[in-house]
Structure 1
Amino acid sequence: MDLDVFVAAHRAEWERLDQLLRRRRHLTGAETDELVTLYQRTATHLSQVQASAPDPALTSRLTTLVARARSAVVGARKSTWRDAAHFFTAGFPAACYRTRYWWVPTGIVFTLLVAVIGWWIAGNPEVQGAIAAPEEVREMTREGGAYETYYTESPAAAFSAQVWTNNAQVAAISLAFGALLGIPVVWVLLMNAVNVGVGVGLMAAAGRLDVFMGLILPHGLLELTAVFVAAGVGLRLGWTVIDPGRRTRRAALAQEGRAAIGMAIGLAAVLFVSGLIEGFVTPSGLPTWGRITIGIVAEAAFLVYVFVVGRRAYLAGETGDIVEADRAAEAPVAA
């Protein structure tokens, strides 16, 4: 694109749009129609400039002009409680369902990796010795040891808040840094798999794997599923950088990024529930089967939420992105 020729060809339209915006309260019907037409054209011009000749000064000028015109044409829209309700009943579950082909395999690979690491550690005393001294291992795995007191050494409310904060940070890292080709996401998953695998291996070697599973499953099912969803979305975002599909890379990243931000909010709510379970149910005096049952019920509820409610919303056209009226106009892209 020859930028000087492009500006010369369309400057009059932009100046006319600016003129109409300055006196929009006194426009005739014909002038109002003209304003709408010029807004649509200018939005397309902005998209063309961003895609072909991203001049900062011109992009800034047209962005401001399009934003003013959008406000004049569609008016300002305020978020309401109805928007929040729609997000949690349609947008968020649909986004989780839409990304299922990323986070379900992620969860399967993670689980297999934990099993392999745990089996390797449990069957190799020399590996256990490399992790910690024998006295330290016995202290961690004995009855009333570190793996058990971890859940009871702090007040339930404070511990629940701490757990929620930590897990939300893990999910946020996966979502925020997914655009870096997903590499940080893989690293976070690997570190978490190693941590869980070490616990499985050491407790299995001590003959107390049932105790460990009774401690981790009540909250871990829902907690890890939320982490898998965040990781899957982060990996999808990283893949979008490589292959944006039929969208421009800018438009694809914008769409997936907006959906990822929304999912961060939804996953924070999911992790809040798992934090409550970890803070109040895991260290409780309930029998092991009772605590695990609560964890299974919470996990089943989330899966129904995604694969029933989310599937229905997805088939109805929901993607987890913001409503179309709030999105920037985009120029058509040839297939």
Structure 2
Amino acid sequence: MNSSLWKFATAPMMDWTDRHCRVFHRLLSRRALLYTEMVTTGAVIHGDRKRLLGFDASEHPVALQLGGSEPADLATSAKIGEEFGYDEINLNVGCPSDRVKDGRFGACLMAEPDLVGDCVAAMKRAVQIPVTVKCRIGIDDQDPEVALDRLARAVVDAGTDALIVHARKAWLDGLSPKENRDIPPLDYDRVYRLKAALPHVPIIINGGIPSIEAAKQHLAHVDGVMLGRAAYQDPWRLLAVDPELFGEAPQHATMREALAALEPYIARELARGVRLHAITRHLVGAYHAVPGARAFRRHLAERGVKPEAGIEVLREAVAMVEERAAAAVVTYA
């Protein structure tokens, strides 16, 4: 398996990486591997599949992340995902929320590596596309040296095509999901040691990585890097992915160009009855730390939520940034 597929990815994030977000991110990078929000096997099998799994063709390569612990249900869901056209199926073994724990999937599966291996094996038998796992380095009082090795060996033996490791423990007893994103200390060296122990397995590192420059440093030790909040909250960082990590011309040279390229998609979605805010809520960080960023955010927040809001709202917000940028140049001169 060519590990370059996983050289750079944006993380699956609940309530954030929906199809509108992914279309926007694709306009910032041709090469980034995009991930869906986690979808449970029950939702895939019994829910509205078109609504839950539908995506725009421009998103490729895009991976479907599944939540579940029943091998048969995961195999069925993986097959459905493959039929929808996804490029990869990913199993969530890292989410620490109570709802996930009660459903016996997510990070609590770190305690059941053999079951995770069975799940991966079932999915591998069901599909021809890559099957991957996203996990933590351990949970609660587990020793990460032992827990991560056991999980990794189980899924590698089952045929996983890559392993994505969030370099923190998940504390299921005593910390909220939000606290689990910051309080347990990061241990990147533990992930590096895993890669050294499994040289032929693509290992992707995740957790607290703030920039593309930091990603380049990690790539000296592992096969790939996954950005989460940094990519979502400061999406302008993705403009550097193609030139900095792949040595290729950027998808679009500026955020203004990318947002202009997003307009045809917005127009199609508005025509389908989608509210503008469903799309523009993912754009609020587009101009972070740039003159006019606050006005951009405020305009989208105040005008974009109105039922009649159209594409002109985004154009007006971008114009505010451009005006302030021009004024800053004149003032400096």
Instruction: Tell whether the structures are fold-level matches, with TM greater than 0.5.
Output: no
- Identify the structure with the greater helix proportion: 1
For normalisation by structure 1, the TM-score amounts to 0.24
Whichever of the two has the greater Rg, that structure is 1
Structure with the larger RCO, 1 or 2 (CA within 8 Å, 6+ apart): 1
- Identify the structure with the greater strand proportion: 2
